[in-house]
Amino acid sequence: MNSTNESATAQAPRRRTIDIVNRGLKRRYRAERRFRFYGLAAIVLSLAFLALLFVSIVAKGYSAFWQTHIRLAVFFDPEAIRQDTLVNADYAALVRESLLKKFPQAEGRQDRRQLAALVSSGAVYQLRDMVLKDPELIGKTVEAWLPADDDVDMLIKGHFRRDLPESERRVSDKQIAWIERLEAEGRLERKFNTVFLSAGDSREPELAGIWGAVSGSFFTLVITLSLSFPIGVAAAVYLEEFAKKNRWTDLIEVNINNLAAVPSIVFGLLGLAVFLNFFGLPRSAPLVGGLVLTLMTLPTIIIASRSALKSVPPSIREAALGVGASKMQMVVHHVLPLALPGMLTGTIIGMARALGESAPLLMIGMVAFIVDIPKGVSDPATVLPVQIYLWSDSPERAFVERTSAAIMVLLAFLVVMNAGAILLRKKFERRW
Amino acid sequence: MTSFPLLAVLLALSTAAYYIGRRKAFALVNRAGGSVRLHSRPTYHGALTALWCAVPALLIFGFWLAFEGQAITHLVVKDLPESLRSLPSDRLNLVINDIRNLESGSFVSQTAEPAIRAAADHYRRLRSISSQALAAVTIALMAAAVLVVRSRIAPGLRARNHVEGILTGILVACSTIAIFTTIGIILSVLYEAIRFFNVVPISQFLFGLDWSPQMAIRADQVGSSGAFGAVPVFLGTALISAIAMVVAVPIGLMSAIYLSEYAGRRLRAIAKPLIEVLAGIPTVVYGFFAALTVAPVIRDWGNRLGLDVASESALAAGLVMGIMIIPFVSSLSDDFINAVPQSLRDGAYSLGATRSETIRQVIVPAAIPGIIGGVLLAVSRAIGETMIVVMAAGLSANLTVNPLAAVTTVTVQIVTLLVGDQEFDSPKTLAAFALGLILFIVTLCLNIIALYVVRKYREQYE
């Protein structure tokens, strides 16, 4: 543009317009550069947000996959454990005794309590399981790695500052001295946190795990998938292949588009009023969660399935009808198999959305504190995002890292699902 | 739940029915030595038998399960002693809950009275009768269906047409679920909301300036319970959504413009999916991010500047919500910018406009209806967004537009009113449904307007 302007200047007698243009050019180019910069800045800013989100969560959460353990010489006192009470014996006393043996200078009730607080209350179950597995242990002294209390864990991981005045931290000076001695003797070690991946919820951070929530999510998604996929595909097939264009199908279409944009919490209200109060289905059950999420994901699946059906060229349909197939045969034998990859992709994306959804599940009571791992679709359960919500409300510092770790697990599931959807699309996508 | 074995039996029987039907069809052909031509292929006879076997049984199964609980409760209540039956309905509900808990063997709040214990036994007996009756009815029905269909199988039976008819019926039924869902939402929310407006006048709810639903401590305080003026709640929702829009619209729009008009193929291929990732992150993650990372930072900065920032400021929630909505705005705007015909661009360039002038004075004005539609959809998302505000915004309903103060939103109030113990007759619980009704109506209107605008816009350039 510029060069044509200049050549025009050379010939034309009228110089006024071009003067105006030239005078403005600098400013206009500056505006151009500024505008371009804004655009780039917007992209950089949104990517920076994304990076910040991931970095802050990983930085907070990665340490939760390790848990501090304390090695103690535990004497399985035959006095404390009698054969008839193996299950109910006072294992806490064993832990206390072995700690006292280690630190005989701890005297007075306060000191002893602080000493006992170094070890997690979950150590009791670990010792019990050891004895139940091998009753021969009774009467022997065994070196055992016991989980440390969450406060000790936080201190070791550096989340508590040791230089604060004693009144401002959760770990007292004495406890720090003990911990430092244990550290010096190599009796403190960070081990891979299997509890976090295998246990249900707990009030004690070091005993809390995500397995209960993961199973709850699994059962909920099984219900959602087994209802929403067939129903969604059927609805899409009807609307795309069979339905005539009339008022009724228009109404259905408007409804589907609107439902896709209705806030998810409204589906929760529906679930509460209809499934729980009207039909009397159990509270907190994955069954009801699955039903609610089915209604929520149906529009997504229907819309995706319809576009998959639309992308199958009409020539396929005409060929099938031409050799004498009925309309249903044409759809079932020819169109559906060709549209299936697209439908599956849409379904996986819908399932990923359902997996991350928590608001409607709060309404139907899936926020209860549930320790047991659900065994079926009618057991009380919670789901992974709701577990994250519950933990994020907990005051203990150790739950912050566990919340972040649970988020990492959730995001990992979502990445896998979305990658699966992309792979599926890449592998089966056909351009006609 | 005891119904899963029955469901498995149901499936197994239907599979068996398929083979029975198919064998009958084959047998017909073989008996005649191959001279008989069936109207339909044998698989259709099998499918017809299986469908007749499964569909009615499944329907009965569903209805039975749906209404079993109510019927049994009704029967149990009818047999309760007079003293218990004459209790007010909320107390009666407690009694029924006790009975149910006792029946399922779970924790019971108080030591059970003999009457309740008897009722629980009664309940248990009725339940076992019911499940046995259900099993008997469905299995008998299925057997009968198989026998009838099998006897009807003949060379002239138009099995394929029947099967296709049934399948079409199923397809139609599935497609109407969307309508039933909408009706269900409207009815359930409206019903409870009307009950709420019977207690609290609708004008007080819509225009009252004081919101404190938590004041009712005992059930008999209902009349003197807290205030239900929802204006502060609406204002808080509007404030947080506005902050979100202030973040999302410029960033989303500018990145869409850059990606579609300036960026090279490589940058576009990398940046676009990455921005879309923001839309796929669960909202609970954003909530956590807002509450634990953004809010403390904002408070620290504010304190350093000498401002008084609430720890649950509207700014933190709005900011993070804006981040969440960026991809929504950007991908919609991207569509609309790409839909502007190339001829408009070429026209502007030929007049000597720079690229940014073309964008600002030609493309954006041409795409503005679509962009407005997209922004309206984004607003409806922001209003309905729950987890971010539940985790990062406050509970106190302050009547303020100060972004540094704590405000509450419609969704936060719905969650706090409904999570935890609830009595279903107190205005406190019902208020959540009234708020839900408003939320539904507002988002519905926004969606309808947005979809209308977008559709009109699409038609314009197609």
Confidence of residue B118 (pLDDT cuts 50, 70, 90): confident
Q: Is B186 domain-assigned?
A: no
Range A145-164 average pLDDT: 83
How far apart, in Å, are the Cα atoms of B140 and each of B22, B127, B135?
Answer: 21, 20, 8
Length of chain B: 462
Number of domains in chain B: 2
Task: Tell me if chain B has a CB within 8 Å of the CB of A262.
Answer: yes
Do A224 and A192 share a domain, yes or no? no
| Residue B111, pLDDT score | 58
| Sequence-ordered alpha helix ranges (H) in B281-405 | 283-289, 295-304, 314-339, 342-350, 355-358, 364-384, 387-392
pLDDT at B401 over 70: yes
Rounded CA-CA distance A220/A271 in Å is: 14
Rounded CA-CA distance A271/A266 in Å is: 9
Judging contacts by C-beta atoms under 8 Å, the chain A residues touching residue B326 are 46, 49
Do A37 and A97 share a domain, yes or no? no
Do B288 and B434 share a domain, yes or no? yes
Answer yes or no: do A269 and B181 touch at CB < 8 A. no
Residue at a domain's end among A62, A82, A108: A62
Do A385 and A339 share a domain, yes or no? yes
Residue at a domain's end among A144, A164, A199: A199
Task: Tell me if chain B has a CB within 8 Å of the CB of A58.
Answer: no
Q: Is B210 domain-assigned?
A: no
Q: Is B228 helix (H, G, I), strand (E, B) or coil?
A: strand
Rounded CA-CA distance B145/B59 in Å is: 14
Q: Is A177 domain-assigned?
A: yes
Q: What is the secondary structure of A232-245 as a DSSP string? A: HHHHHHIIIII--S
B412 contacts B389 by C-beta, under 8 angstroms? yes
**Dihedral angle over CA of A362, A368, A374, A379, nearest 10:** -80
The number of helices, as runs of H, and strands, as runs of E, in chain A is 18, 3
Do A318 and A221 share a domain, yes or no? yes
Do A183 and A92 share a domain, yes or no? yes
How distant is the Cα of A150 from the closest Cα of chain B, in angstroms?
19
Do A191 and A215 share a domain, yes or no? no
Do A30 and A146 share a domain, yes or no? no
Answer yes or no: do A29 and B419 touch at CB < 8 A. no
Q: Which of B63, B262, B285 to mutate to test the interface with A (most CBs of A within 10 A)?
A: B285
Answer yes or no: do A358 and B284 touch at CB < 8 A. yes
Judging contacts by C-beta atoms under 8 Å, the chain B residues touching residue A30 are none
Range A306-315 average pLDDT: 93
CATH number of the domain to which A222 belongs: 1.10.3720.10
DSSP H/E element including A192: strand A188-192
Range B312-338 average pLDDT: 91
Q: Which two tokens stand for residue A128?
A: 């019990």
For A23-140, list the strands marked E by DSSP. 66-75
Task: Tell me if chain A has a CB within 8 Å of the CB of B64.
Answer: no
The gap from C-alpha A358 to its chain's centroid, in whole angstroms, comes to: 10
Do B360 and B430 share a domain, yes or no? yes
Taking the alpha carbons at both ends of chain B, their separation in whole angstroms is: 55
| Residue B1, pLDDT score | 47
Shortest CB distance from B436 goes to which of A269, A298, A400?
Answer: A269
Answer yes or no: do B178 and A359 touch at CB < 8 A. no
Do A419 and A272 share a domain, yes or no? yes
pLDDT at A316 over 60: yes
Q: Is B205 domain-assigned?
A: no
Do B144 and B248 share a domain, yes or no? no
Q: What is the pLDDT of residues A31-46, one digit of tens each?
A: 999 999 999 999 999 9
pLDDT at B309 over 50: yes
Do B145 and B252 share a domain, yes or no? no
State residue A191 phi and psi, 5-degree precision: -115, 160
Do A331 and A420 share a domain, yes or no? yes
Q: CB atoms < 10 A from the CB of A47, how many?
A: 17
Contacts 24+ apart (CB under 8 A), A57-62: A57/A404, A57/A407, A57/A408, A57/A411, A57/B285, A57/B288, A57/B289, A58/A404, A58/A408, A60/A400, A60/A401, A60/A404, A60/B292, A61/A401, A61/A402, A61/A403, A61/A404, A61/A405, A61/A406, A61/A407, A61/A408, A62/A405, A62/A408
HSE of A240 in the Cβ direction (CA atoms, 13 Å)?
24
pLDDT at A320 over 60: yes
Answer yes or no: do A270 and B181 touch at CB < 8 A. yes
Q: Is B226 domain-assigned?
A: no
**Dihedral angle over CA of B440, B446, B447, B451, nearest 10:** 160
> What interface predicted TM-score (ipTM) does this complex get?
0.88
Length of chain A: 432
Do B331 and B437 share a domain, yes or no? yes
Task: Tell me if chain A has a CB within 8 Å of the CB of B453.
Answer: no
Q: Is A205 domain-assigned?
A: no
Percent of chain A with pLDDT over 90: 41
Judging contacts by C-beta atoms under 8 Å, the chain B residues touching residue A357 are 282
Q: Which two tokens stand for residue B217?
A: 């401590």
Do A149 and A86 share a domain, yes or no? yes
Confidence of residue B240 (pLDDT cuts 50, 70, 90): very high
Do A281 and A309 share a domain, yes or no? yes
Taking the alpha carbons at both ends of chain A, their separation in whole angstroms is: 41
pLDDT at B251 over 90: yes
The gap from C-alpha A16 to its chain's centroid, in whole angstroms, comes to: 66
How distant is the Cα of A261 from the closest Cα of chain B, in angstroms?
7
Q: Is B255 domain-assigned?
A: yes
Task: Tell me if chain B has a CB within 8 Å of the CB of A385.
Answer: yes
Q: Is A407 domain-assigned?
A: yes
Do A167 and A219 share a domain, yes or no? no
Task: Tell me if chain B has a CB within 8 Å of the CB of A265.
Answer: yes
Q: Which of B96, B103, B104, B175 to mutate to test the interface with A (most CBs of A within 10 A)?
A: B175
Q: What residue type is B271 in one-letter code? A: A
- Of A70, A109, A110, A76, the closest CA to residue A93 belongs to A76
Do B162 and B57 share a domain, yes or no? yes
Answer yes or no: do B179 and A251 touch at CB < 8 A. yes
Number of domains in chain A: 3
Percent of chain B with pLDDT over 70: 91
A81 contacts A97 by C-beta, under 8 angstroms? no
Confidence of residue B420 (pLDDT cuts 50, 70, 90): low
CATH number of the domain to which B291 belongs: 1.10.3720.10
- Of A106, A191, A116, A188, the closest CA to residue A155 belongs to A188
Q: Which two tokens stand for residue A205?
A: 């951070």
Q: Is B107 domain-assigned?
A: yes
Q: Is B203 domain-assigned?
A: no
Q: Is B215 domain-assigned?
A: no
Do B340 and B421 share a domain, yes or no? yes
Query: Which distant-in-sequence residues (6+ apart) come within 8 Å of B296 by Cβ?
Result: B311
| Residue A148, pLDDT score | 87
How far apart, in Å, are the Cα atoms of B202 and each of B186, B191, B292?
Answer: 18, 14, 38
Of B55-59, B127-131, B432-436, the poorest mean pLDDT is in B127-131
Rounded CA-CA distance B299/A200 in Å is: 35
Do B164 and B238 share a domain, yes or no? no
- Which range scores top for mean pLDDT: A83-87, B29-33, B257-261, B400-404? B257-261
Q: What is the pLDDT of residues A99-143, one digit of tens each?
A: 888 888 777 788 888 888 888 888 888 888 888 888 788 888 888
Domain coverage including residue A102: 66-199
Q: Is A206 domain-assigned?
A: no
State residue A218 phi and psi, 5-degree precision: -60, -50
**pTM summary value:** 0.87
Tokens 């003990």, residue located = A178
A205 contacts A194 by C-beta, under 8 angstroms? no
Do B315 and B393 share a domain, yes or no? yes
Rounded CA-CA distance B389/B412 in Å is: 6
Chains A, B: CB pairs < 8 Å: 272
Do B284 and B378 share a domain, yes or no? yes
Answer yes or no: do A356 and B384 touch at CB < 8 A. no
Range A158-164 average pLDDT: 79
Domain coverage including residue B429: 231-461
